[in-house]
Amino acid sequence: MPKKIGILTGGGDCPGLNPAIRGCVYAAEKFGYQCVGITDGWKGLVEGLAVPLNKEQVEYIIGKGGTILGTSRTNPFKKEGNVKSCLDNFKKLDLHALVAMGGEDTLGVATRFHKEYKLNVVGVPKTMDNDLNATDYTFGFDTSVTSAMEAAESLIDTGRSHHRVMVLEVMGRHAGWVALFTAIASSADYVCIPEKKINTADIVLKIKEVYARKHFALVVTSEASELEEAGESAAMREVDQFGHVILRDRGMGERIAGFIEKQTGIETRAAVIGHIQRGGAPTLFDRMLATRVGVKAAELVRDGQFGMMSALVGNKITGVPLEQATGELKTVSKDWLELMEVLF
Ligand code: F6P
């Protein structure tokens, strides 16, 4: 009987998960393993839900958004008894190893299972937020920023026609990568990211200047930017099972638009791209990156490198300790903040 590898995808979905599953299954079968899919992230392991997964099933999923395995934001360490269920089901399903594909939350759980319970776990980094350490990029980011860039360019068209200021709110959670890349790539006039509190005098001045010159302007904001005027109490914010503030109701785009209109007297509209940027076919970059990190995960299992994650370092795919990736978030760094100063 071939040894079994379970594959799960957890946290917010993103384009690239399917190519990563495909890469992992192709390599695992080549090395003589059999794969099973654990459905809906850690919830599937808690409940012992597995589906067969083989090369024929994954052959044509490389261009499909989402994840064929389903996902959830379940944290087994949050509810008593769930860790034990995961360990029992790992045995019941007769798994030799588990490949967990996810961001800091999913991989944080993987890290704990390996460290505290010596489970044979390997990680694959994914997140449209690009906020994972120890890897240069995560798949999902390129596709979601490409969608956001196209949305921003559409807003320039309508903003220019109506002589309005347009504000686009993008996802990205507590890292500003999505907003910054979207703003640069779409020639936006201003960008707001969580790493830098919005300077209210500066944004008003810049929008007035830009508007005087071309009679429209585009602002890109992260969902997690901070506007002093917002008067929001952190304590009031709802959190998920991993303790993250749920940002969807903050309405940063609307708030910034309202602020700009009030301060400048210029008609301003806001748009939120939301989950549209989480779906759709992965770009070429994401298909290739996802395939490579998926293949590497199977290699790490074959080599007994548990507690490791496949990562992009330079242009090489390599194994790095899971702990390095999940310790702290990768937020917009000093060199990118300097570039931001030049461009906005
Ligand atoms: O982490 C990915 C992400 O899309 C974040 O950018 C966003 O804040 C969050 O997920 C939204 O989560 P949900 O799909 O649970 O609303």
Q: State the alpha helices, DSSP H only, in 215-333.
A: 252-264, 284-302, 322-326
One domain, residues 271 and 155: yes
| DSSP class per residue in 302-339 | HTT-TTEEEEEETTEEEEEEHHHHHSS-----HHHHHH
- Bridging pattern class, strands 34-38 and 50-53: antiparallel
The reply to whether 132 and 163 lie within a common domain is no
Domain count across the chain = 2
| Rg of the chain over all Cα atoms, to the nearest angstrom | 21
Q: Which of 173, 207, 179 has the alpha carbon at shortest distance from 193?
A: 179
Residue 256 sits in a domain of what CATH number?
A: 3.40.50.460
135 shares its domain with 155: no
> Does residue 42 lie in a domain region?
yes
Sole residue written with tokens 């930017």: 225
For residues 51 and 106, state if they share a domain. Answer: yes
SS3 29: helix
d(CA 110, CA 229): 40
Is 335 part of a structural domain of the chain?
no
Q: Which of 263, 278, 293 is the last residue of a domain?
A: 278
The domain in which residue 156 lies consists of 142-278
240/225 Cα distance (integer angstroms): 19
Which 3 state secondary structure label does DSSP give 50?
strand
Q: Are residues 83 and 120 in the same domain?
A: yes
- Known active-site residue 129: yes
Q: Are residues 16 and 135 in the same domain?
A: yes
Does any ligand 1 atom lie closer than 6 A to the CB of residue 278?
Answer: yes
Q: Are residues 116 and 15 in the same domain?
A: yes
Same domain, 159 and 271: yes
Q: What is Dmax (Cα atoms) for the chain?
A: 73
Residue tagged active-site, from 129, 131, 142, 189: 129
Bridge partners (DSSP) listed for residue 95: 4
Q: 132 and 72: one domain? A: yes
CA of 113 to the centre of ligand 1 (A): 24
Q: What share of the chain is helix, strand, coil (3-state, %, to 5)?
A: 45, 20, 35
Q: Is residue 185 located within the same domain as residue 247?
A: yes
Is the CB of 164 inside a 6 Å radius of any atom of ligand 1? no
For every one of its 344 residues, what pLDDT tens digit does the chain have, with 9 covering 90 and above?
999 999 999 999 999 999 999 999 999 999 999 999 999 999 999 999 999 999 999 999 999 999 999 999 999 999 999 999 999 999 999 999 999 999 999 999 999 999 999 999 999 999 999 999 999 999 999 999 999 999 999 999 999 999 999 999 999 999 999 999 999 999 999 999 999 999 999 999 999 999 999 999 999 999 999 987 645 555 556 778 887 877 777 899 999 999 999 999 999 999 999 999 999 999 999 999 999 999 999 999 999 999 999 999 999 999 999 999 998 999 999 999 999 999 99
Dist. CA 24–CA 309, nearest whole Å: 13
Name the residue among 74, 82, 131, 81 with its Cα closest to residue 103.
131
287 close to ligand 1 (CB < 6 Angstrom): no
Residue 305 counted as domain residue: yes
Which atom of ligand 1 approaches the CA of 172 most closely? 6
